[in-house]
Amino acid sequence: MTLLDSMIVMIYLLFIGIAAWLFRRFSTSSNDFLQGGGTMMWWMAGATAFMTQFSAWTFTGAAAKAYEDGISVMFIFWGNALGFFVAAAFFARRYRRLRVETAMEVIRVRFGHTSEQLFTWLSFPLTLIACAIWMNGLASF
């Protein structure tokens, strides 16, 4: 990295640190962080969940894929929409009724602490393998 690159990274980290320090009082629990303290309107929570699905690939890779293969790339996005619908229609009410914040808490409430720990620790190596495969795919093409 050049000196300019290092300075940009340091300024960015400093900015993030200052912003975290200034806004620390607004998020005092995991509920505040994950659910907006329970005060977020449904449409804002939905829009936030929807927007997390976008990445640089959406605007570059998907556009290139659409150029090469036509409308078939839309099946990815239609699949996402179907997944959101299924989650809202069948799982959201149950998830809310359990009064949990994360998927791991659902496992603990439904199946116990041992199952939660087993699932958590098994997900670490599986996630690392999935990320390695994804990064290899990015590097290959």
In a domain, 99, yes or no: no
**Model's pTM, two decimal places?**
0.58
What angle, rounded to 10 degrees, do the helices at 61-69 and 74-86 form?
Answer: 120
For 84-111, the pLDDT digits (tens) are 899 889 888 888 888 888 888 899 999 9
Q: Is the pLDDT of residue 34 over 80?
A: no
Mean pLDDT of the chain: 87
In a domain, 49, yes or no: no
In a domain, 70, yes or no: no
In a domain, 17, yes or no: yes
When pLDDT is averaged across residues 125-129 and rounded to a whole number, the result is: 94
In a domain, 71, yes or no: no
Give how many domains the chain has, as a whole number. Answer: 1
- In contact, 138 and 131? CB cutoff 8 Å: no
- Domain holding 35, by residue range, is 1-39
In a domain, 33, yes or no: yes
Q: Which of 108, 109, 127 is nearest to 118 (CA)?
A: 108
Q: Is the pLDDT of residue 22 over 80?
A: yes
From residue 31, how far is each of 39, 40, 44, 100 by CA, in Å? 10, 11, 16, 9
Q: Is the pLDDT of residue 141 over 70?
A: no
Q: Percentage of residues in the chain with pLDDT exceeding 90?
A: 35
CB atoms within 10 A of CB 120: 13
